[in-house]
Amino acid sequence: MMTPALMKQKIPWKFRIARGLWIGCGLVLIGMSGCHTPMLMPVAPIEISKGSDGTIERRYDSDGDRRIDYVERLGTDGRVAAIRVDMNRNGTLDDVLLDQIKQSDCRHLVILLDSIPFDIVKECREQGRFRFFHPPSRLISTFPAVTDVAISEFMNLNPIAGVEVSYYDGQRLTPGWGSYVREDNSGWLSRFDHYVDYDKHGFIYYWPQSWLMHELWMIQQGFLPAEADRVFWAYIVSTSAEGAQYGENGHRESLLAVDRLCQMLMMQTQGKLQITLLSDHGQDTRPYQYVDFGNSVERLGYRVVERIERPGDVVLPAFAVVSYAGIYTNEPQRVAKDVVGLECVDLAMYRNGEDEVVVVGRSGQARITRRDDRYRYQMESGDPLVMGDILQRFRSTGVMDEPGFVDDKSWEEATADHVYPDAVHRIWRAFHGLVRYPPDVLVSLKDGWYCGSWTMDKMIRLHAVHGSLTSRGSVGFVMSTAGSLPPSVRIESLQTELDRLGFPAHRRPEPE
């Protein structure tokens, strides 16, 4: 028997009318935007040949006139080593050896694709896409794995106000929609040359395919005439919408289009281009069920309010639709232990009076403590983060000191591909400096569940979500034409890694 929180709710007639008006406005907005289409390289070359030395040539007709006007030559490592383009516009294709072009002579482009999981990018590259790039690396996002805090962490802008636009500052709950449209929690946007204003995001999630093409067109139109000595930064939100609407197929469609744009830009710049692609977090594309988390918490005996005034009061922001929840309360220990009993909850976390983070799961409870750059994970009862084998390895190799602390780097390396990637550091950071007003209790939902705005859930039936501590929604990707990156990178360390490659990511536009 389904609980009341999971029963299908009838959509009120007023809501249906409002949704109809909203859809009508969206159609008008799409028409006004012009539905622009970018110039992309064809999906497939018209000829492919393999040399005796193991190299491969892919020949393209980029403009549809049935003549080869662009060629890629792949080396034995599978990457594009050279291209052939008409350098002098005389009808003759000239060889361009990419490794002989100085990076200082190149244009630089960063494209941040919202919500693209690492596994799908890896699969696309193995199938022959993104061959200008070195192999992708796992990019471990923040917890919660959501856009504003993740990109702000990448750009060293944290702490921002809240995990999301709706947060409780101790006096009032910030209204979500108005704050979102004003981009109050998204100061990182001022660093980007391309992004779509947030007041259009609802329409993008409803018509992602049209908006994806429009965004790629905007990037192409903005990048080519831009100042050549400055990094051009682009943020694409429609990739998240493609995944939310169409799951893995939506992500593959987005990646194919982005790869074709990169190929076209390489031809248009005659190979004098370095590109870095990355995502802010992943997106889990398994079947999901919405839960009215506020209703579930109320059934435990708590009162969901907008201001905490007495015992039993909790504030639950519910703006986005995500696989985590934030709870503001004066009783974090009691709330965490109660909500972990809900069917949809995997883990609940809170900071105790000793400045430790307590992790509560159905299998038990543990504490995370930090001392300088070392963490200790103490299992009090059970092992909620499933770290037992890793702790044993730390002991046997001498990495763990007598009080049980292990250096941060060892934690990162040992848990990068864990079911909860880099969990000890990410959980600690969530309560220490990620945002100014962190929830008193953070909840990571089980795979297959999401919560948040009831209205948004009824507007768009999601096929992918993110936010939780688990791998698929937490791990994005990064890859660059400038060089290889470590197999796994924290999003907060990515700037340093790009600097190491000589990619001038620090040369981004400063906020006005």
pLDDT of amino acid 287 = 79
Is 238's pLDDT higher than 70?
yes
User: What is the total count of domains within the chain?
Assistant: 3
Q: Is residue 146 part of a domain?
A: yes
Is 95's pLDDT higher than 90?
yes
Is 475's pLDDT higher than 80?
yes
Same domain, 167 and 46: no
Separation of alpha carbons 163 and 322, rounded Å: 12
Separation of alpha carbons 74 and 97, rounded Å: 11
Is 511's pLDDT higher than 70?
no
Non-local (6+) Cβ contacts of 344 within 8 A are: 291, 293, 296, 445, 446, 449, 451
Give the H or E element holding residue 217. Answer: helix 208-223
CATH number, domain of 133, equals: 3.40.720.10
Separation of alpha carbons 380 and 405, rounded Å: 15
Non-local (6+) Cβ contacts of 174 within 8 A are: 161, 162, 165, 166, 167, 168, 184, 317
Where are the alpha helices (H) located in 224-346, listed in sequence order? 238-268, 293-299, 332-339
Separation of alpha carbons 14 and 458, rounded Å: 13
Amino acid letter for position 362: R
Same domain, 300 and 442: yes
Same domain, 77 and 131: no
Q: What is the mean pLDDT of residues 244-248?
A: 92
Is 65's pLDDT higher than 80?
yes
Q: Is residue 208 part of a domain?
A: yes
Q: What is the mean pLDDT of residues 197-226?
A: 92
Picking from 56, 77, 100, the residue at the C-terminal end of a domain is: 100
Picking from 81, 100, 119, the residue at the C-terminal end of a domain is: 100
Same domain, 432 and 310: yes
173-185 tens-digit pLDDT: 988 677 777 888 8
Same domain, 208 and 307: no
Neighbour count for residue 352 (Cβ, 10 Å): 11
148-160 tens-digit pLDDT: 999 999 999 999 9
Q: Is residue 25 part of a domain?
A: no
Same domain, 322 and 455: yes
* 3-class SS of residue 81: strand
Torsion of CA 290, 295, 298, 300, to 10 degrees: -40
Q: Is residue 32 part of a domain?
A: no
pTM listed for this prediction: 0.91
Separation of alpha carbons 166 and 453, rounded Å: 11
Q: 431 vs 504, which has greater pLDDT?
A: 431
Is 237's pLDDT higher than 90?
yes
Asked whether 420 and 325 are in contact (CB, 8 A), the reply is: no
Separation of alpha carbons 359 and 427, rounded Å: 9
Q: What is the mean pLDDT of residues 205-213?
A: 92
What are the CA-CA distances from residue 154 to residues 166, 232, 281 (Å)?
21, 16, 11
Is 459's pLDDT higher than 50?
yes
Q: Is residue 30 part of a domain?
A: no
Separation of alpha carbons 217 and 202, rounded Å: 20
Both tokens of 326, joined, read 């934030």
Is 24's pLDDT higher than 70?
no
Q: 363 vs 45, which has greater pLDDT?
A: 45
Q: What is the mean pLDDT of residues 59-75?
A: 95
Asked whether 107 and 220 are in contact (CB, 8 A), the reply is: no
Asked whether 62 and 263 are in contact (CB, 8 A), the reply is: no
DSSP string, 441-458: EEEEEPTTEEEE-HHHHH
342-365 tens-digit pLDDT: 999 999 999 999 999 999 999 899
Separation of alpha carbons 36 and 355, rounded Å: 53
Rounded to 10 deg, the angle between the 118-126 and 238-268 helix axes is: 40
Same domain, 316 and 375: yes
Q: What is the mean pLDDT of residues 376-388?
A: 96
Q: Compute φ and ψ for 414, nearest 5 degrees.
A: -75, -25
* Polymer length of the chain: 512
Confidence label for 229 from pLDDT (cuts 50, 70 and 90) = confident
Same domain, 113 and 232: yes
Confidence label for 202 from pLDDT (cuts 50, 70 and 90) = confident
Point out the least confidently predicted range of 14-18, 269-273, 489-493: 14-18
Separation of alpha carbons 133 and 206, rounded Å: 31
Same domain, 383 and 278: no
Same domain, 108 and 135: yes
Same domain, 355 and 414: yes
Q: Is residue 10 part of a domain?
A: no
pLDDT of amino acid 132 = 98
Enclosing domain of residue 70: 38-100
Both tokens of 151, joined, read 């990109």
Among residues 320, 314, 251, the alpha carbon closest in space to that of 290 is found at: 320
Both tokens of 172, joined, read 């009032």
- Write b or e for each residue in 243-275: b if 16 or more Cβ atoms lie within 10 A of its Cβ, otherwise e: bbbbbbebbbbbbebbbbbbbbbbbbbebbbbb
Separation of alpha carbons 21 and 276, rounded Å: 40
Same domain, 48 and 192: no
- How is residue 382 annotated by DSSP? S
Q: Is residue 13 part of a domain?
A: no
DSSP string, 126-142: HTT--TTSPPPEEEE--
**Dihedral angle sign, alpha carbons of residues 290, 328, 115, 383:** negative
* 3-class SS of residue 205: helix
Among residues 468, 442, 469, 440, the alpha carbon closest in space to that of 168 is found at: 440
pLDDT of amino acid 199 = 86
Q: What is the mean pLDDT of residues 102-109?
A: 92
Is 480's pLDDT higher than 90?
yes
pLDDT of amino acid 16 = 46
pLDDT of amino acid 9 = 41
Point out the least confidently predicted range of 115-119, 293-297, 305-309, 500-504: 500-504
pLDDT of amino acid 21 = 46
Cα 254 to the chain's mean position, in Å?
14
**What's the mean per-residue pLDDT of the chain?**
90
Picking from 57, 82, 100, the residue at the C-terminal end of a domain is: 100
Q: Is residue 330 part of a domain?
A: yes
* 3-class SS of residue 27: helix
Question: DSSP strand E in 186-251: where?
Answer: 232-236
